[in-house]
Amino acid sequence: MDDFQSAYQEEKARLDRTLEQIDKRLTMLRGIPVYTGQDFTEQLLEENRENQRKQLEQSFHEPYFGRLDFEEQGRSKTPLYIGKVGVGDPDGKEPIVIDWRAPVASLFYSFTGGDDASYVAPEGLIEGLVYLKRNIVIRKGILDRVVDTYNRESDGPAVSDEFLVYRLGENKDNRLRDIVSTIQAEQDQIIRAAKNTALIIQGVAGSGKTTVALHRLAFLLYQYKEQITAERMIIFAPNHMFIDYISEVLPELGVGDIQQSTFSDWAAKVLGLDDVPADGSEALSYWFDGEKRGKERLEDTELPGRFKGSIEFKALIDTFLEDLEPACVPDGDFEPWDGARLPRKEILAWFEGEYRHYPVARRKERVLARIHRWVEMALKKSPSVAALKERKKKAQQREKAYAKKWPELEPLALYRELFGIKKGAGIAGLPDMSEQVPKGIWKETRTRLKNNIVKEEDLPGLLYIYTKVHEIDGKMTFDHVVIDEAQDFSPFQVYVLDRFVKGHSFTILGDLSQGIHYYKGVRNWHEMQSLFEAEDTAYFALTRSYRSTMEIIQFANEILERGVNADLLAVPVFRSGEPVKLLGAAGEHRREAITRAMNKALAGSYRTAAILTRTMREAEELYEELIHEGADIHLINGDLKQYAGGVSVLPVYLSKGLEFDAVIVTDVDPLHYGPEDAKLLYVGCTRALHELWLLYGEALPTYVTSETSEFASKVELEAL
Ligand SMILES: Nc1ncnc2c1ncn2[C@@H]1O[C@H](COP(=O)(O)OP(=O)(O)OP(=O)(O)O)[C@@H](O)[C@H]1O
């Protein structure tokens, strides 16, 4: 028997034993009658048993994916089996499978060969020797594959890429998947980083940012189970379709109940706004398809998203609200009826003294409630029933009128006031900000706010005002916040969010090379890092790209290099595929080229494909034509809630974050992709896992190589 066969037999025997043990434990748990009574302790025990049942049922299909033979200093060599969930032996004592999140399991990911192996356990640094690192593929309880990625006996270097490449070569369905069996050392470092840190991660396209963030959440829940809960964690994603696309990963990792939202949805909920001002189809079309396209770029201060997302705008709000407190208590004493008087001095003493520790909106509430109590006491001293009735009526009217004299402290009211839309004479003492805000932004915002129309760009300011005048209720705070596609977040958004997060516990991930929304977001990560004290933040860079073949990555890198002189280039994993195909087909041949390329790309076993147009309108037109011809395709627009998989037609800017087995980019010519669109094309190209087609008319943009090379080749329409 050769080494491979004996390893296979050994693992098969071990798998049979493990499944037997899992089955035994499951049978035992299923045999315990389900508790339905009222006793709290019994209910907790039942919940625990139910969790165990579920986990064991899940384990039964794939109990583990890796084996690590480790000899801890001073102890004997032990094979450790690592799985998605830990499993105890039938007595529930010794682990027969170790949870991938356990400290010792980190060795499985970080060890790449050599005599030094160590990991950090709660009791300190544990050192020892690794003898074997083995990947094991089990499907539906059947052993499928055994690959040794390190064997001390054979003394060779670790070959972990071989198994990774096998996994990356698989076709994708319509959802992002977990990667527990192939997490790379650079990713593991991020997943296991300490909780109370604002992690900022620059990762090239396909480096696993989204995936890593989701695994990090599962890790934090395991590692800090006593301190944090899933319900208090949130992932901010760019749109609802993306949320749907990533929705399977956490349940696959055995984690549920983590909130997933867009920033707009969450902010609107906090602010009590009915209309969610999302960055939906309309707003996106404005920047990508219509009026703004190809126009001269505006200065940052002229772009509403950048101006209102800056820390300077925060400072401006601070200045504006500086004198809000003294402006709150109205002039004059309060007289509930003629002859009764509550001096302003006393009201001021409550507001500025006793209730000082509350934010102003709460203080206003408290003071008004106290005035009401004062009135009730005074009423008791009325000389007759008739006088009491008369005074009560008067007091009611005057209390109402007095409350109206206080400024309205709702965020939208104050924000409107900041933009010069005053209620009556406005709040006394607050400064005129018209000179501090760029003219265009001032004018446009005022016009909208007069009609109570709020846009996404207004949300950081509104939330900031909220946090200044209201209390942040404990129920609103988060144990951890993930921000995906963070290059499109503004520093002010993160600053405001920080007020809702305990211990600056953030995972902020993005790619500056994919910063296609030039009208918002950040240009460098320092803008985010500088929001935190140095000891509260850490920066990581992910440079290896796992999604695409080597050819696609090299080709896309070239677009970045030529187009924007970028230095954040992706390093491919050595997975080779077909060269990128450049198909020239002008005029009436355009449609035919699209159909032929699509048929060709889908002839294999691919399950997902995308046709990326430059604009939404072009996507709609193409979709109609293809549907008319009987094609089975989906149209994706900015308001879509679910991602259906299969073949999709969409504008390139909506493809960000997604991936497809094959991608066809249409109309790659200088008219559709101007000098400022290199990043946009880069995003489109890096969506492809295995196959990429670029269709063009007369010529390609200058930043796309027209040369046939080892990465790209020209294809003739007739040859298809
Ligand atoms: N360690 C890994 N093992 C296997 N697959 C991986 C690994 N890391 C990432 N991948 C795969 O690479 C692809 C890209 O991952 P993901 O979408 O998380 O990257 P990203 O950095 O968020 O990408 P982008 O910024 O381009 O949207 C996914 O298919 C993911 O499963």
Q: Whose CA is nearest to atom 18 of ligand 1?
A: 208
Cα 675 to Cα 425: distance, rounded to the nearest angstrom: 50
Neighbouring CB atoms inside 10 A of 517's CB total: 20
CA of 255 to the centre of ligand 1 (A): 19
Among 23-27, 51-55, 287-291, 454-458, the least confident range: 287-291
pLDDT at 293 over 70: no
**Closest ligand 1 atom to 181 CA:** 3
Cα 90 to Cα 86: distance, rounded to the nearest angstrom: 13
Take residue 387 and report the two structure tokens written for it.
């006088």
CA of 206 to the centre of ligand 1 (A): 5
Take residue 401 and report the two structure tokens written for it.
């009128």
Amino acid, res. 71: E
CA of 178 to the centre of ligand 1 (A): 10
If you average pLDDT over residues 143-168, what whole number do you get? 78
Mean pLDDT of the chain, nearest integer = 88
ipTM passes above 0.95: yes
**Closest ligand 1 atom to 485 CA:** 25
Question: What pLDDT digit, counting tens, does each position of 586-620 carry?
Answer: 888 888 899 988 888 887 788 899 999 999 999 99
* Three-state SS at 500: coil
Amino acid, res. 649: V
Cα 570 to Cα 582: distance, rounded to the nearest angstrom: 21
If you average pLDDT over residues 167-185, what whole number do you get? 82
Residue set of the binding site: 203-210
What is the residue whose two structure tokens read 């290059």?
Answer: 487
If you average pLDDT over residues 642-649, what whole number do you get? 88
Query: Residue 383's pLDDT is what?
Result: 86
Output phi, psi for 411, to 5 deg.
-50, -45
Please list, in sequence order, all residues whose beta carbon lies within 8 angstroms of the beta carbon of residue 143, skipping any fewer than 6 positions away: 8, 11, 12, 15, 136, 137
User: Which DSSP letter does residue 521 get?
Assistant: S
pLDDT at 298 over 60: no
pLDDT at 160 over 70: no
Q: Whose CA is nearest to atom 28 of ligand 1?
A: 547
Question: What pLDDT digit, counting tens, does each position of 688-703 carry?
Answer: 999 999 999 888 999 9
Q: Where are the alpha helices (DSSP H) in 111-259?
A: 160-168, 185-191, 209-223, 240-245, 249-252
**Closest ligand 1 atom to 183 CA:** 1
**Closest ligand 1 atom to 177 CA:** 31
* Three-state SS at 516: coil
Among 254, 221, 257, CA closest to 97: 254
If you average pLDDT over residues 517-525, what whole number do you get? 73
Question: Please, what's the b/e burial string for 69-90 (b: 16 or more CB within 10 A of its CB; e: otherwise)?
Answer: bbebeeeeeeebbbbbbbbeeb
pLDDT at 161 over 80: no
User: Which DSSP letter does residue 163 get?
Assistant: H
Cα 265 to Cα 210: distance, rounded to the nearest angstrom: 20
Q: Is residue 60 a contact partner of residue 21, using CB atoms and an 8 Å limit?
A: no
Cα 235 to Cα 220: distance, rounded to the nearest angstrom: 14
If you average pLDDT over residues 306-330, what whole number do you get? 90
**Closest ligand 1 atom to 510 CA:** 25
If you average pLDDT over residues 456-483, what whole number do you get? 94
Question: What pLDDT digit, counting tens, does each position of 614-641 carry?
Answer: 999 999 999 999 999 888 999 998 888 8
Cα 113 to Cα 118: distance, rounded to the nearest angstrom: 12
More confident call, 292 vs 643? 643
Q: Where are the alpha helices (DSSP H) in 281-422?
A: 281-288, 304-308, 311-321, 324-328, 344-349, 360-380, 385-405, 411-418
Ligand 1: residues with CB < 6 A are 164, 167-168, 177, 179, 182-184, 187, 203, 205-211, 511, 514, 546-547, 657, 659, 686
If you average pLDDT over residues 457-462, what whole number do you get? 94
Please list, in sequence order, all residues whose beta carbon lies within 8 angstroms of the beta carbon of residue 469, skipping any fewer than 6 positions away: 321, 324, 359, 360, 361, 409, 411, 414
Query: Residue 291's pLDDT is what?
Result: 47
pLDDT band, very low/low/confident/very high, at 447 (cuts 50, 70, 90): very high
- For 311, counting Cβ atoms within 10 Å of its Cβ (0-12 exposed, 13-18 middle, 19+ buried), the class is middle
What is the residue whose two structure tokens read 């390329």?
Answer: 597
Query: Residue 609's pLDDT is what?
Result: 93
Query: The whole model's pTM is what?
Result: 0.89
Among 97, 131, 133, 96, CA closest to 115: 131
pLDDT band, very low/low/confident/very high, at 522 (cuts 50, 70, 90): confident
Cα 168 to Cα 573: distance, rounded to the nearest angstrom: 9
Take residue 510 and report the two structure tokens written for it.
């993005």
Please list, in sequence order, all residues whose beta carbon lies within 8 angstroms of the beta carbon of residue 503, skipping any fewer than 6 positions away: 195, 196
pLDDT at 683 over 50: yes
Distances 109 to 100, 122, 187, 582 between C-alpha atoms, Å:
9, 18, 9, 39
Question: What pLDDT digit, counting tens, does each position of 334-390 carry?
Answer: 999 988 899 999 999 999 988 988 999 999 999 999 999 999 999 998 888 988 999
CA of 245 to the centre of ligand 1 (A): 13
pLDDT band, very low/low/confident/very high, at 415 (cuts 50, 70, 90): very high
More confident call, 691 vs 286? 691
CA angle 690-239-219, nearest 5°?
75
Q: Whose CA is nearest to atom 6 of ligand 1?
A: 546
CA of 66 to the centre of ligand 1 (A): 20
Q: Is residue 660 a contact partner of residue 648, using CB atoms and an 8 Å limit?
A: yes
Considering only CA atoms, give the Rg of the chain.
Answer: 31
Residue set of the binding site for ATP: 203-210
**Closest ligand 1 atom to 213 CA:** 18
pLDDT at 94 over 80: no
Cα 198 to Cα 536: distance, rounded to the nearest angstrom: 6
CA of 489 to the centre of ligand 1 (A): 21
pLDDT at 294 over 50: no
Query: Residue 539's pLDDT is what?
Result: 95
- Find the length of the chain: 720
Q: Is residue 524 a contact partner of residue 549, using CB atoms and an 8 Å limit?
A: no
User: Which DSSP letter does residue 589 get?
Assistant: H
Q: For a ligand 1 pocket test, name from 211, 509, 552, 683 the mutation site with the most ligand atoms within 8 angstroms of its C-beta.
A: 211
Q: Whose CA is nearest to atom 19 of ligand 1?
A: 208
CA of 336 to the centre of ligand 1 (A): 67
Take residue 571 and report the two structure tokens written for it.
């390093």
CA of 150 to the centre of ligand 1 (A): 24
Chain center to CA of 495: 16
Q: How far apart are the first and last CA of the chain?
A: 48
Q: Whose CA is nearest to atom 26 of ligand 1?
A: 205
Helices (H) and strands (E) in the chain, counts: 25, 22
Cα 80 to Cα 117: distance, rounded to the nearest angstrom: 15
pLDDT at 712 over 50: yes
More confident call, 293 vs 243? 243
If you average pLDDT over residues 669-680, what whole number do you get? 89
Take residue 656 and report the two structure tokens written for it.
């960000």
Q: Whose CA is nearest to atom 23 of ligand 1?
A: 206
Query: Residue 283's pLDDT is what?
Result: 58
Q: Is 331 left (phi over 0), alpha (psi -120 to 50) or beta?
A: beta
Query: Residue 55's pLDDT is what?
Result: 85
Query: Residue 201's pLDDT is what?
Result: 96
Q: How many CA atoms lie within 13 A of 531 on its CB side?
A: 26
Q: Whose CA is nearest to atom 29 of ligand 1?
A: 547
CA of 211 to the centre of ligand 1 (A): 6
Cα 268 to Cα 274: distance, rounded to the nearest angstrom: 7
